[in-house]
């Protein structure tokens, strides 16, 4: 099942903006924004490109941040 464009596009834009936050040094905000974008979607739509973009952000975050609460929330959101 693919998400309607009207749902998918804003979600992808939010995840891209989160990646920019991470790039600008605000990793916590990036994680929180991505989690919010993912949880705003029905679980059936957290696949494909949406999941890939969120996973790309997760993988770009250095291991030193993996113990932080926001990072754990992102990891859990990707696992759901």
> In terms of pLDDT, which residue wins out, 6 or 41?
41
The predicted model gives 15-36 an average pLDDT of 96
SS3 letters for 36-79? Answer: HHHHCCCHHHCCHHHHHHHHHHHHHCCHHHCCCHHHHHHHHHHH
pLDDT tens-digit series, residues 26-70 = 999 999 999 999 999 988 888 999 999 999 999 999 998 889 999
Residues 6+ apart with CB under 8 A from 18: 29, 30, 31, 33, 34, 37, 57
Residue 75 is predicted with a pLDDT of 94
pTM for this predicted structure: 0.86
Residue 3 is predicted with a pLDDT of 54
């Amino acid at each position: 099942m693919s998400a309607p464009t009207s749902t998918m596009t804003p979600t992808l834009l939010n995840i891209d903006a989160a990646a920019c936050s991470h790039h600008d040094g605000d990793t916590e905000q990036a994680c929180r924004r991505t989690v919010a974008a993912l949880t705003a979607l029905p679980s059936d739509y957290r696949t494909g490109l949406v999941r890939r973009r969120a996973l790309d952000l997760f993988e770009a975050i250095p291991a030193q941040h993996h113990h932080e609460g926001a990072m754990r929330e992102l990891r859990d959101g990707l696992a759901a």
